[in-house]
Amino acid sequence: MRTVHVIGSGKAPRPVNVVGEAITILAGGDLSKPFEVHIQEGVQGGGPPPHFHPWDEAFYVIDGQVQVTVEGASTTVSAGGYVHIPAGSIHAYKNISATAKMIGVVSDPRGGQFFAAVDRLRVPEDLPQILAIAEAHGVTFLLPK
């Protein structure tokens, strides 16, 4: 059963640290909501490597610039820009300004569950654990050999 979900001003949950990105999970982790909402903040050069998953994902950039690559085509998205990524598409993003902040929306609770599970893990020392957690949550990273 879906329920009303309200987070009052100043009551946002603590962000998780996903390999240098601060991600605040505003809505997620259960099936009572049709989507998840995250606030993602990172520094220049940050962002995930190419990957795919079985859910749609969208980003609305609210500060800075982000280079988004979907199925090999890259575009720069600045504050006020939006991108939708269909389920199964190979994609990545990289923060190209000193800092970047965006609102992320995904159509499956496994996105936020993955973020919470890898909180504070680091690359390269925790990479095997991160990849195992990703696989358990339906995320496949395409890493160079």
Write the CATH number for 45.
Answer: 2.60.120.10
Please check whether residue 78 lies inside any domain of the structure: yes
Task: Please state, as a whole number, how many other Cβ atoms lie within 10 Å of the Cβ of residue 112.
Answer: 24
* pLDDT tens track, the chain, 145 positions: 677 888 888 888 999 999 999 999 988 766 556 788 999 999 999 999 999 999 999 999 999 999 999 999 999 999 999 999 999 999 999 999 999 999 999 988 889 999 999 999 999 999 999 999 999 999 999 988 7
Can you give the residue range of the structural domain that contains 111? 16-139
Determine the Cα–Cα distance for residues 129 and 19; give it in Å rounded to an integer: 12
Please check whether residue 1 lies inside any domain of the structure: no
- Total number of domains in the chain: 1
Task: Please state, as a whole number, how many other Cβ atoms lie within 10 Å of the Cβ of residue 113.
Answer: 19
Please check whether residue 4 lies inside any domain of the structure: no
Please check whether residue 118 lies inside any domain of the structure: yes
Determine the Cα–Cα distance for residues 36 and 65; give it in Å rounded to an integer: 22
Task: Please state, as a whole number, how many other Cβ atoms lie within 10 Å of the Cβ of residue 57.
Answer: 23
Please check whether residue 145 lies inside any domain of the structure: no
- Can you tell me whether residue 93 is helix, strand or coil? strand
Please check whether residue 37 lies inside any domain of the structure: yes
pTM tops 0.85: yes
Determine the Cα–Cα distance for residues 136 and 100; give it in Å rounded to an integer: 28
Please check whether residue 51 lies inside any domain of the structure: yes
Determine the Cα–Cα distance for residues 106 and 41; give it in Å rounded to an integer: 16
Please check whether residue 8 lies inside any domain of the structure: no
